[in-house]
Structure 1
Amino acid sequence: MIKNVLRNTILFSTIILLNCSYKQDCPEGINLLPMYGEVKKCDEQLKSDSEFLADCDKEFKNRKEASQKYIEKAWGYFYNNDANTSMKRFNQAWLLDKDNAEIYWGFGNLMGMRHEIKQSIPLFEKSIKLNPNNAKVYESMSTSYGQLFYETKKIEYLDLTIKSLKSAIKLDPNNAKYYGSLTSAYAYFMQKDSLRKYMKITDKLNPKFIDPAVRKIASKK
């Protein structure tokens, strides 16, 4: 009898250890990373994904429509400064439609919000690759490059800031905000011809987008 009790105790302990090991195999916190961190999910997580997709298939006409709905939810949380919930919704949208460019734009903005600037840029590039006609993505990317320039003072980041803003302007040529940002970027150069050129254009569209400090710089000879 003692042997049976001992055998059952060992068996019970083994089952507990196996269950613990199984749970440890599930990567934690991946729904707070773009594309779930691109890690291998455990069976439990894959089952949850399948159930989510099945529910969406019942509720929506197709997965593209479902994805767009979750994108709308994600932006709502983003603008309410709830970055974690926003990331979860963008990830759900990504599960539904991995070819939706807006999702990668959202991912990039969220990484920027977390001050993970370098990680944001490939996400913006992915968005642009899928849809090169969204001026707002170029603006977001210019913000990341501008932040990198501010932190490192490396001129290549300033050049990329300007390049991104010019791409945005090409798509949306009457956007005063883009011109104002471009004017500010040129304030860092010794030659002020471009600064004054774009400040003049901005003033015609909407002078409020020119920073007073930039006007002061432009007025210097």
Structure 2
Amino acid sequence: MKRILLAAATVLLSGSMAFAQEQQPALHPKVLPMFGQIAKTDAQQKADEKFLTSCDKSFESRTEASNFFMERGWEFLNEGQVDTAAYRFNLAWLLNPDNFNTYWAFGVVEFNRGKTGEAISMFDRALKYQPNNSMLLSDIGLAYVQQYINDKKKKNLKQAAALLDRAVKADPNNAFALSGLSQVYFHNKKYAEAWDYLHRGRDLNIMSLDYNYLSELMTHMPDPKGMFRNEPAAVEAAN
């Protein structure tokens, strides 16, 4: 179940960023990663202690409790309730700061808010715990692709390629990493290679297919396999 949730989070990560780029109002610290990393008041610290004591009574360990709140967070995130998910991830982090999944989740949250640099920072924290985690590597790689789209700095595209290559080496069947490499080749204007990697990813897992990116690729080069065409109906039929 956990694996499925993480894959679903990756779909969110690789999807359209238009909604996340809109101007966001100031957020309450409780829905910022690690509670905004700001000093808490005495009242807030007492509330945390009460929460931890309650969890100690309800779960066999804080590790178990942390994992419970992580699962709830992924559920809310998959429903599009980003702030509610972020708060659950914060509770999971409070229970176990060494739970690398919390940093991974914070990265997904920040990415969905359009904060690509902050997302990469959180993913890097998670990577220190799991340096060969293929799904995590593909998430970081996709974040660097988005960072390149934002600032057009070639170093970010090179970093994306390196991370996505590592992801594929760790798991050759990681469809999201293959789809990410397709985007790297696209931005390097190597459209035939981009199509090849897009099809390889799609064949493994159709959920890795980003239709916004697909439409953009088709404007530069027709699908060599003829599976996708410019007509909207054809794109829908291939789903």
Q: Is 1:105 the counterpart of 2:104 in the alignment? A: yes
Aligned to 2:20: none
- Kindly state the Cα deviation for residue 133 of structure 1 after the two structures are TM-superposed: 3.3
In structure 2, the CA distance between the partners of 1:152 and 1:219, relative to structure 1 (3 Å rule), is same
Choose between structure 1 and 2 for higher RCO, CA contacts under 8 A separated by at least 6 residues.
2
| Aligned counterparts, 1:101-140, within 5 A | 101-140=100-139
> Which amino acid is 1:72 matched to?
E
Q: State the secondary structure of the residue aligned to 2:187.
A: coil
Matches within 5 A, 1:1-221: 29-190=28-189, 195=194, 198=197, 202=201, 205=204, 209=209, 211=214, 214=217, 217=221
Q: CA deviation at 1:175?
A: 2.4
Give the ranges of 4+ consecutive aligned residues of structure 1 lying more than 6 Å apart after TM superposition. none
Name whichever structure is richer in helix by fraction: 1
The answer to whether the Cα contact below 8 Å between 1:142 and 1:160 also exists between their aligned partners in 2 is yes
Cα–Cα, structure 1 residues 188 and 70, in superposed 2: closer, same or farther, change >3 Å? same
Q: In structure 1, what is the equivalent of residue 5 of structure 2? A: none
Sort the Cα spacing of 1:186 and 1:57 in 2 relative to 1 into closer, same or farther, 3 A: same
Measured after TM superposition, the shift of residue 167 of structure 1 is 1.8
**Structure 1 unaligned runs (5+)?**
1-27
- How far did 1:84 drift? 1.0
The 1:204–1:50 alpha-carbon spacing in structure 2 relative to 1, beyond 3 Å, is closer
Q: CA 1:203–1:52 in 2, change beyond 3 Å: closer, same or farther? A: closer
For 1:203 and 1:34, the matched residues in 2 are separated by 32
How many pairs are equivalent?
193
Distance change >3 Å, CA 204–CA 136, structure 1 → 2: closer
- Report deviation, 1:183: 2.0
TM-score after normalising by structure 1: 0.77
Cα distance in 2 between the residues matched to 1:172 and 1:77 = 28
Taking the aligned partners of 1:187 and 1:58, their CA distance within structure 2 comes to 53
Provide structure 2 residue ranges, at least 5 long, that are not aligned to the other structure.
Answer: 1-26, 225-239
**Using the alignment, how far apart are the partners of 1:142 and 1:134 within structure 2?**
12
Deviations 1:115-168 (A, max 9, x none): 111111110000010122322222221222111111111111111111121122
- The alignment partner of 1:187 has SS state of helix
Rg larger in structure: 1
Q: CA deviation at 1:219?
A: 7.6
Change (3 A) 1:72 1:196: closer
Deviations 1:169-208 (CA, angstroms, capped at 9, x unpaired): 1222122332132122112225568547646755775799
Aligned-residue offset at 1:87:
0.8
